[in-house]
Structure 1
């Protein structure tokens, strides 16, 4: 008999991916101004995994998983964290946090196109409108002259888009992969494997590591919030939602994250929000709405749903 998901947990999980993840762009931006990006992400995810496993041991939750599950968590850790997040952190050296979040808000468009390619799913009229608006919004966002003049910013935004593709494919992979049934443990292993990959990448690229004692207070605070809330709380919530609700509902976080990121970047970092960026945001998020509208819920059915015993 299927166990009905706890509605309170679902609400709290959505709050986590809405608000907490919306703020991680600002926190990563603050931290990456002083720390090498792969080092930053590696410390964040390995520390989070150690905390998760420690809490699990205290609560007497088994850490045992199969070899297949370990391999799948490593794949997910790479797609979501090592590449999907680590490279975004690198890109934040050159891209405003709000613009990065706004660009990533096009993820439902990428998921939709991937589902068409891999699952041969029909794309309905409302979704086609959403795709068109999404492309227009992205074009307006990345075609701003002040961005194009800066080569590093162009490269940064291109890498953000590639990371979004990685994250989108990771979501499809996770929806069907054999992973640990405990969402907390699942998160822990993804964090550990993703963090190790980032650690190897950091040393490979010759990043210089520094002691946390030498970090400024703002970076120390940002890292603590990223580890505890951005990694453990929000990512566990994300893994939970991928298994118990349909993907168009999970994807609604893309409406909220860029708004929070834009507002925080403007308030705390004095990031400029141009009129063209505002227009692009309105068009892009409208497109995301059309893609996620309930009039074509069947398009997303089965993905991210947990096959309960």
Structure 2
């Protein structure tokens, strides 16, 4: 096995997208309570991108890319970060961090359907069951009175779903696109370009910018953690995994992310965890398991193949 695909490296990368990304919902929620969402996200990604370029140069890595790679990193940066992440941060103003993580746990369902629609990939019976369970779980999650009664919560939920479509398409696009071969450099370009587009969005929407020195201590600490771990470490791991394993496997981070996000939101922000949310989480994650399992559905081996 090539060094870049070593089992240890893959395990560490999965740990990064499982655990670190699960905590970013809390960190973004803390920061967005004080900062405008697009400004917050733009600063995070621009700074992370610049740091990545500096580290790459110190390591002796070339950051030169072709025009085709620049175009592709721009597309990926928009799909993953400008829209896919920036709008989620905006939605966190109206929904709990744990709720957002639970909704996004249906990401493998979105990727599976996009692979069927855009690539013609056949859907096995186990995956069909997973899709059905996924839709049931989403319905149980979003139909709660506690959620619907919050101001602009429906808009927040719809925009998070749109972000899931953006991330899903981006995952398929990155899997085949011509991008910088160095995953660190690839991440840097996506971060920096996505951050620039977020800054332009912030200006277009008239957000008020402020100096980091004016932010509260929790927001400052949250931003530092988001930049170093949530952006540089986890997103580099994400791009690496998209090249060495299938998109469905990468999307299994949604098994762990919502559990961590729910626990942290409950502990630090006193977010309510309802019984219906727990049932929804169990059904959603069971659906994700069925989507990603390689086992055959034994009861109807011939009649139900999609």
Alignment TM-score > 0.5, same fold: yes
Q: Does the Cα contact within 8 Å between 2:94 and 2:150 map onto a contact in 1?
A: no
Partner residue, 2:110:
110
Whole-Å Cα distance in 1 between the matches of residues 142 and 185 of structure 2?
38
Partner residue, 1:153:
153
Gaps of 5+ in 1: 297-309
Partner residue, 1:251:
251
Output the TM-score relative to the length of structure 2.
0.95
Q: Does the Cα contact within 8 Å between 2:134 and 2:284 map onto a contact in 1?
A: yes
1:199 and 2:199 are equivalent in the alignment:
yes
CA shift, 1:93, in A, is 0.5
Partner residue, 2:41:
41
After the TM superposition, which residues 120-131 of structure 1 pair with which residues of structure 2 at under 5 Å, given as runs? 120-131=120-131
1:31 and 2:46 are equivalent in the alignment:
no
Which stretches of structure 1, 4 residues or more, deviate above 2 A after TM superposition? Answer: 1-4, 246-249
> For 1:210-255, what per-residue CA distance to the aligned partner results, in whole angstroms no more than 9, with x for missing partners?
0000000000000000000000000000000111112332122110
After the TM superposition, which residues 274-293 of structure 1 pair with which residues of structure 2 at under 5 Å, given as runs? 274-293=274-293
Gaps of 5+ in 2: 297-306
Whole-Å Cα distance in 1 between the matches of residues 84 and 200 of structure 2?
16
Partner residue, 1:261:
261
Whole-Å Cα distance in 2 between the matches of residues 246 and 122 of structure 1?
15
Partner residue, 1:186:
186
After the TM superposition, which residues 132-151 of structure 1 pair with which residues of structure 2 at under 5 Å, given as runs? 132-151=132-151
Whole-Å Cα distance in 1 between the matches of residues 255 and 101 of structure 2?
10
Partner residue, 1:301:
none
Partner residue, 2:303:
none
Would the alpha carbon gap of residues 221 and 3 (structure 1) be closer, same or farther in structure 2, given more than 3 Å must change? closer
Output the TM-score relative to the length of structure 1.
0.94
Whole-Å Cα distance in 2 between the matches of residues 75 and 268 of structure 1?
35
> For 1:171-215, what per-residue CA distance to the aligned partner results, in whole angstroms no more than 9, with x for missing partners?
000001000000000000000110000000000111000000000
> For 1:30-87, what per-residue CA distance to the aligned partner results, in whole angstroms no more than 9, with x for missing partners?
0000000000000000000010001111111101000000000000000000000000
Partner residue, 2:169:
169
Whole-Å Cα distance in 2 between the matches of residues 128 and 6 of structure 1?
32
CA shift, 1:122, in A, is 1.1
Q: Secondary structure at the match of 1:178?
A: coil
| Equivalences, count | 296
Partner residue, 2:50:
50
Whole-Å Cα distance in 2 between the matches of residues 237 and 2 of structure 1?
17
Whole-Å Cα distance in 2 between the matches of residues 118 and 48 of structure 1?
32
1:18 and 2:25 are equivalent in the alignment:
no
